[in-house]
Chain A
Amino acid sequence: MSDAALARGWHFRRPSVIPGFGLTLGFTIAYLTLIILIPLSGVVWRTTGLGWTEFWAIATDERTVKSLQISFGASLIAALVNVVFGVVVAWVLVRYRFPGRRIVDAVVDLPFALPTAVAGIALAAIYAPNGWVGQLLAPLGIKVAFTPLGIVVALIFIGLPFVVRTVQPVMEEIDREVEEVAATLGASRLQTVTRVVMPGLAPAVLTGFALAFARAVGEYGSVIFIAGNIPYVSEIAPLLIIIRLEEFNYAGATAIAAIMLAISFLMLFVINLVQAWSRRRYGYGT
Chain B
Amino acid sequence: MDVSIRKVRKEFDRFPALRDVSLDIRSGELIALLGPSGSGKTTLLRLIAGLERPTAGAIYFGDEDASHKTVQERNVGFVFQHYALFRHMTVADNIGFGLKVRPGATRPTKTEIGRRASELLDLVQLSGLEKRYPAQLSGGQRQRVALARALAIEPKVLLLDEPFGALDAQVRRELRRWLREIHDATGHTTVFVTHDQEEALELADRVVVMSQGQIEQIGTADDIYDTPNSPFVYGFIGESSSLPVRIGNGELWIADRTIGLPAPDVADGDATLFFRPQDVELLDGCGGCIAGTVAATRRVAGTRRVELEIGGERQRVEIELPVGHPASQQSRVAFRPRRYRVFPARAA
Interface residues in chain A, defined as those with a beta carbon under 8 Å from any beta carbon in chain B: 175, 177-178, 180-188, 191, 195-196, 199-200, 202, 281-284
Interface string of B307-322 (1 = CB under 8 A from A): 0000000000000000
- Residue of B with least CB distance to A175: B84
**Chain B, interface size: which category?**
20 to 34
**CB-based nearest A residue for B51:** A180
Given A186-B101, A282-B133, A283-B133, A177 and B82 touching (CB < 8 A)?
A: yes
The interface bits of chain B over 76-110 (1 if a CB of A lies within 8 angstroms of the residue's CB, else 0) are 11101010111111000000011001100000000
The 8 closest A-B pairs by CB, nearest first: A283-B135, A185-B98, A177-B84, A184-B78, A187-B101, A183-B71, A199-B88, A181-B84
Asked if A186 and B75 sit within 8 Å, CB to CB, the answer is yes
Residue of B nearest to A180 (CB): B51
In the assembled complex, the Cα of A191 lies from the Cα of B134 at a distance in Å of: 21
Residues 29-52 of chain B, each 1 if its beta carbon lies under 8 Å from chain A, else 0 = 000000000000000000001110
Is there an interface contact between B88 and A184, defined as CB atoms closer than 8 Å? no
Closest Cβ neighbor of A190 among chain B residues: B101
Taking a contact as CB atoms under 8 Å apart, the answer to whether A181 and B80 are in contact is yes
18 new A-B contacts, CB < 8 A, other than A185-B150, A186-B72, A283-B133, are A175-B84, A178-B84, A181-B84, A181-B146, A181-B149, A183-B51, A183-B71, A183-B72, A184-B76, A184-B77, A184-B78, A185-B149, A186-B153, A188-B72, A199-B88, A200-B88, A282-B134, A284-B135
Chain A, Cβ-Cβ closest to B88 = A199
1/0 per residue, CB under 8 A from A, across B124-152: the answer is 00000000011110000000001001101
When A183-B71, A187-B72 are in contact, do A178 and B86 touch as well, CB less than 8 Å?
A: yes
Find the residue from A185, A196, A200, A281 having the highest chain B CB count within 10 A.
A185
- 9 pairs from A and B in contact (CB 8 Å cutoff): A175-B84, A180-B84, A181-B78, A181-B146, A182-B86, A188-B72, A281-B133, A282-B134, A283-B136
Which residues on B sit within 8 Å (CB–CB) of A181?
78, 80, 84, 146, 149
Looking at chain A's contact residues, the main secondary structure is helix
B153 and A185: CB pair below 8 A?
Answer: yes
Q: A180-B51, A186-B72, A186-B101 are in contact. Are A283 and B134 (CB under 8 A)?
A: yes
Give the chain A neighbours of B98 by CB distance below 8 A.
Answer: 185-187
- Whether A188 contacts B101 in the complex (CB less than 8 A), given A281-B135, A282-B133, comes out as yes
Query: Could you tell me the distance in whole angstroms from the C-beta of A170 to the nearest C-beta in chain B?
Result: 12
Q: Is the CB of A283 within 8 A of B87?
A: yes
Contact between B49 and A184 (Cβ–Cβ < 8 Å)?
yes
